[in-house]
Amino acid sequence: MLFHTFLFVFLAEMADKTQLMIMALTNRYSVKTVIAGMILGVFAISGVSVLAGDLIGDLIPMRLIKLAASAMFLFFGLMNLRCNDSEEEGHHFALKIPVVSIAFTFVVAELGDKTQLATVALAADHMGEHLPVFLGASFGLILANILGIFAGKLIFSHLREDTVKVGSSFIFFLFGSLTLFEAVPGSTMIFIVYSTVLILCAYAIYTISRRHANMQ
C-alpha cells in the first residue's frame, strides 16, 4: 500500500500547481528554506488528509479555502518582485518567517487539490493502513517537489535576474487569479478591472523596489 500510494501521489503531483509554486519560490528563498517549508507542509497536509480529510469540506467551506490560497499566491507574487536589500536581510527572512509561510501556503494550496483528494480516498478505502498511506503520500509529495525545486534552481540559474523575477511572479499571479475566479466567478468587466489593478500594483512595487536598490 505504501508504494501504491507513493507512486499515485508522485505522478499526480508532477506539473501540479503546488509543484510550480514551490519551484517559483526558489527564486526568493534558499533551497534549504524551501525544502524545509515544503516538508513541514507535506507532513501537515498528509496527516490531515489521512486522519480527517473527509471532515475538511464540512468544517471549512471550499470557497474560503480557495480565497485563502489565492491571497497567498498573489502575496508571494507581489513580494517576489521586490529587490532584496542585502544578504543579511535575505538570511533573516530565510531563517524565520518563510519556513512557516511556505508550509502554510503549501497546505492551503493542497486543500481540495487532486493529490489531497486522492490521499483522502485511499485512506478511506484502507482504514487499517493509515500509516502506509500517510508515508506513501508524504514521500510522493516530497520527492515530486524536491525535483521541482532543483529544476527551478537549474532553470533560473540560466536566466537574467529580472526575467526570473517576472517569470516566477507570473506563475504566482496566474494560479492566484485562477483560484480567485474559481471561488468568486465574475463578469468580463470585473476580470479586466482586476487584471489592470494587479498589473499596476506589480509594476509599482517592482519599479519602487528597483529605485530603492539603486539608491543604496
At 76-89, the pLDDT tens digits run 888 777 755 443 34
Query: What is the pLDDT confidence band of residue 67, given thresholds at 50, 70 and 90?
Result: confident
Write down the pLDDT at residue 72: 79
Tell me the average pLDDT across 172-197.
Answer: 83
Q: What is the pTM of this model?
A: 0.74
Which DSSP string corresponds to 102-132?
Answer: HHHHHHHHHTTSHHHHHHHHHHHH-TT-HHH
Q: How many CA atoms lie within 13 A of 12 on its CB side?
A: 20
Domain ranges in the chain are 2-215
Exposure on the CB side of residue 210, measured as CA atoms within 13 A: 10
Tell me what the mean pLDDT of segment 13-35 comes to.
Answer: 86
Is the pLDDT at 172 greater than 50? The verdict is: yes
Predicted confidence at residue 65, as pLDDT, reads: 74
pLDDT, residue 147, reads 92
pLDDT at res. 85: 46
Confidence of residue 60 (pLDDT cuts 50, 70, 90): low
